[in-house]
A = this chain, B = another copy of it.
Amino acid sequence: MSLKQEIFEFVEKDLADIERALEANLNPYLDLVRDVASHLLFAGGKRLRPVLMVLSARVCGCNNGEEINLSTVFEYLHAATLLHDDIVDGAETRRGKIAAHKVWDPAEVVLTGDFLLSRTCTIAADTDKLPIIKVITNVTGVMSEGEIQQLLNKKRLDLSEEQYMDVIYRKTAVLISAACEVGALLADAPPEQVEALKEYGRHLGIAFQMADDLLDYVADPKVTGKAIGADLAEGKLTLPLIHALEQTGSETRPRMEKIILDENASKEDFAFVLDNIIKSGGVDYTNQKAQEHVAAAKALLDIFPDCPEKDVLAKVADFAAQRDS
- CB neighbours (8 Å) of A87 from chain B are 107, 110
Query: B145 to A30, Cβ gap below 8 A?
Result: yes
Which of A87, A108, A117 has the largest count of B CB atoms less than 10 A from its CB? Answer: A117
Question: What sequence of 0s and 1s flags, for each residue 127-152 of chain A, a beta carbon within 8 Å of any chain B beta carbon?
Answer: 01010011001101101110111011
Query: A137 to B149, Cβ gap below 8 A?
Result: no
Query: A111 to B29, Cβ gap below 8 A?
Result: no
How many copies of this kind of chain does the complex include?
2
Instruction: Tell me, yes or no, whether A310 is within 8 Å of chain B by CB.
Output: no
Sampled A-B contacts (7; CB under 8 Å): A30-B145, A30-B152, A32-B152, A84-B110, A115-B148, A125-B134, A126-B134
Instruction: Tell me, yes or no, whether A19 is within 8 Å of chain B by CB.
Output: no
Query: B151 to A137, Cβ gap below 8 A?
Result: no
Instruction: Tell me, yes or no, whether A257 is within 8 Å of chain B by CB.
Output: no
Main secondary structure of the interface of A (DSSP, over half): helix
New contact pairs (11) apart from A112-B144, A115-B148, A117-B140, CB-CB < 8 Å: A32-B148, A84-B111, A84-B114, A87-B107, A105-B151, A111-B145, A113-B114, A118-B137, A122-B141, A125-B133, A125-B134
Binding site for B on A (CB under 8 A): 28-30, 32-33, 84, 87-88, 105, 107-108, 110-115, 117-119, 121-122, 124-126, 128, 130, 133-134, 137-138, 140-141, 143-145, 147-149, 151-152
Pick the residue among B105, B115, B134, B144 that contacts A144 (CB under 8 A).
B115
Query: B114 to A144, Cβ gap below 8 A?
Result: yes
- CB neighbours (8 Å) of A124 from chain B are 137
Which of A29, A108, A134, A138 has the largest count of B CB atoms less than 10 A from its CB? Answer: A29
The smallest beta-carbon distance between A36 and chain B, in angstroms, is: 9
- CB neighbours (8 Å) of A121 from chain B are 121, 137, 140
Which partner residue on chain B sits nearest A119 by CB separation?
B141
Which partner residue on chain B sits nearest A83 by CB separation?
B110
- CB neighbours (8 Å) of A108 from chain B are 148, 151
Q: Give the CA-CA distance A125 to B130 in the complex, in Å.
A: 7
Which partner residue on chain B sits nearest A136 by CB separation?
B121
- CB neighbours (8 Å) of A33 from chain B are 145, 148
Known: A148-B33, A151-B108. A114 touches B128 (CB 8 A): no
Q: Give the CA-CA distance A240 to B190 in the complex, in Å.
A: 60
Q: Which 3 A-B pairs have the closest CB atoms?
A: A118-B140, A88-B107, A114-B144
Pick the residue among B105, B113, B138 that contacts A122 (CB under 8 A).
B138
Q: Give the CA-CA distance A138 to B165 in the complex, in Å.
A: 35
Query: B140 to A114, Cβ gap below 8 A?
Result: yes
Q: Give the CA-CA distance A152 to B144 in the complex, in Å.
A: 27
Query: A141 to B118, Cβ gap below 8 A?
Result: yes
- CB neighbours (8 Å) of A112 from chain B are 144, 148
Q: Give the CA-CA distance A138 to B115 in the complex, in Å.
A: 10
Q: Give the CA-CA distance A281 to B292 in the complex, in Å.
A: 74
